[in-house]
Chain A
Amino acid sequence: KQEVTQIPAALSVPEGENLVLNCSFTDSAIYNLQWFRQDPGKGLTSLLLIQSSQREQTSGRLNASLDKSSGRSTLYIAASQPGDSATYLCAVLRGGSNYKLTFGKGTLLTVNP
């Protein structure tokens, strides 16, 4: 059974700091890995999607890496801003016909002005 773990559970940083969020998964037979952002009272917003054959994806100040063989991914946020405060969720997609996502519990990020 696939298990996804995110470390740390919570992180508080001053504005402008670069930071790394970690995600690990137990079964390396994944189709892709996705990072989502969740704001209070809102749904999930997809940030980055890395296919199993890829090593990293970048979008603006965000960079996500994937090491499938070791079961690890990191989300790097450069020059953090208070607007980045949210819960960040990592999810892995098992291949097959139903595209079922398995989620970690998330990292609650607070960026202080």
Chain B
Amino acid sequence: GAGVSQSPSNKVTEKGKDVELRCDPISGHTALYWYRQRLGQGLEFLIYFQGNSAPDKSGLPSDRFSAERTGESVSTLTIQRTQQEDSAVYLCASRNGGNPGYTFGSGTRLTVV
């Protein structure tokens, strides 16, 4: 597609439930990132995928967070047993190979009640 697409755009869930967030990167972009933006905070790096290499998971805040990407296509970020502190905007970005420019999606606003 023309841009990075994220779904859903908004998600309200009850504490303790699992949620799955989806990101469709720009076709041909080999690198994909997930960031989290909590209210009043800067964007925090969560995870990075590059082609078929092992992902960089160094930003995942706990073992309740996991992400998958099949090849160079769609990625899903899963949060298990959600907590109120997981409420944030989750942003996905993709990048083309050695080009340092990022393209961000519009994000998923997650609210845990």
Contacts and interface: CB of A to CB of B under 8 A. Distances in A.
Contacts of A34: 102
- Interface of B (DSSP majority class): strand
Interface stretch (B12-20, B43-51, B67-75, B78-86): B43-51
B91 A4 contact: no
Interface residues of A, number: 25
Interface of A: 4, 31-32, 34, 36, 41-46, 49, 89, 91, 93, 97-106
Interface residues of B, number: 25
B54 to A, nearest CB: 11
Contacts of B56: 98, 100
- Interface of A (DSSP majority class): strand
Nearest to A45: B104
Given A49-B100, A93-B100, A98-B50, A43 B106 contact: yes
15 contacts: A4-B42, A36-B104, A41-B106, A43-B91, A43-B104, A44-B104, A46-B101, A89-B42, A91-B43, A93-B100, A98-B48, A100-B45, A101-B45, A103-B43, A105-B40
